[in-house]
């Protein structure tokens, strides 16, 4: 198992990632405002299943890669740093879009809501990069099984992401109304998150390779 500081650090990064607007958040908010919070929660169930799929694929793939390919750890580390910088730019660039600027969606049944949530997550490159490039930053082969560490970290990310998205889905209408009358808060959120992501990217890029 990873050490406690590693688990806490990864939890913090996971929280920052889930608060960064992406396809999942935009879809869940749009669905919740259009069809109600219950529809958002059902859709979130499909999103959660997508997280589990990616987490298992990455856990077994990363385990094999780190043991089979020289310098694979460094390659993943730099890829993760580059991806975080890209996310930071998406948050800071002019005319960045708020996820609460929703589009109307047609009313669908629970089965379709679940399926659409699952597909939305599978087609979200942010999630694939999270597991394939960010997860290895917090894995240390010297403290135990790489697979066990990958599964533990992945489980933490899923719990945090599902919990935060559930709260956002339930409160989407109220949040949209609040931000609609206070656009300054959107700007503050974008700059805060962009700065945090850029800082994490720099830290990862210059972090010394673990022994």
- 134-188 pLDDT, tens digit each: 777 788 877 788 888 888 888 999 999 999 999 988 888 777 666 666 667 767 7
**Mean pLDDT in the chain?**
76
Q: What is the DSSP letter of 136?
A: G
Instruction: Specify the pLDDT at position 44.
Output: 93
Is residue 211 assigned to a domain? Answer: no
Closest CA to 2 of 171, 142, 183, 209: 142
Domain range for residue 188? 4-206
* pLDDT tens profile 80-115: 667 667 767 766 777 665 555 555 667 788 898 999
Rounded Cα distance between 45 and 170, Å, is 14
Closest CA to 124 of 15, 21, 19: 21
Is residue 209's pLDDT more than 50? no
Is residue 152 assigned to a domain? Answer: yes
Rounded Cα distance between 88 and 133, Å, is 16
Rounded Cα distance between 45 and 117, Å, is 7
Let me know: does 143 contact 211? Beta carbons within 8 Å: no
Rounded Cα distance between 180 and 68, Å, is 51
* Nearest 10 degrees: Cα torsion 139, 143, 145, 151: -40
Is residue 144 assigned to a domain? Answer: yes
Is residue 211's pLDDT more than 50? no
Q: Which residue has the higher pLDDT, 36 or 41?
A: 41
Is residue 176 assigned to a domain? Answer: yes
Angle subtended at Cα 102 by Cα 100 and Cα 104, rounded to the nearest 5 degrees: 155
State mean pLDDT over 64-78. Answer: 62
Q: How many domains does the chain have?
A: 1
Is residue 78 assigned to a domain? Answer: yes
Rounded Cα distance between 90 and 87, Å, is 5
Closest CA to 40 of 125, 156, 167: 167
Percentage, residues of the chain above pLDDT 90 = 12
pTM of the model: 0.68
pLDDT category of residue 203 using cuts at 50, 70 and 90: low
Let me know: does 86 contact 15? Beta carbons within 8 Å: no
Is residue 140 assigned to a domain? Answer: yes
pLDDT category of residue 71 using cuts at 50, 70 and 90: low
Is residue 181 assigned to a domain? Answer: yes
* pLDDT tens profile 2-23: 778 888 888 888 887 787 767 7
């Amino acid at each position: 198992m990873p050490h406690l500081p590693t688990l806490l650090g990864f939890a913090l990064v996971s929280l920052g990632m889930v608060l960064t607007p992406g396809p999942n958040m935009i879809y869940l908010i749009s669905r919740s405002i259009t069809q109600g919070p219950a529809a958002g929660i059902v859709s979130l169930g499909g999103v959660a299943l997508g997280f589990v799929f990616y987490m298992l694929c990455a856990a077994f793939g990363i385990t094999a890669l780190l043991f089979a390919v020289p310098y694979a750890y460094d390659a993943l580390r730099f890829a993760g740093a580059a991806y975080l910088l890209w996310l930071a730019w998406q948050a800071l660039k002019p005319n960045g879009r708020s996820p609460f600027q929703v589009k109307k969606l047609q009313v669908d049944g629970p089965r379709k809501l679940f399926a659409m949530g699952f597909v939305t997550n599978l087609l979200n490159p942010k999630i694939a990069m999270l597991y394939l490039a960010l997860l290895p930053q917090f894995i240390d082969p010297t403290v135990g099984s790489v697979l066990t560490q990958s599964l533990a970290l992945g489980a933490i990310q899923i719990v945090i992401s599902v919990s935060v998205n559930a709260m956002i889905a339930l409160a989407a209408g109220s949040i949209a109304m609040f931000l609609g009358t206070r656009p300054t808060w959107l700007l503050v959120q974008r700059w805060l998150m962009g700065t945090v992501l850029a800082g994490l990217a720099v830290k990862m890029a210059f972090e010394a390779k673990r022994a």
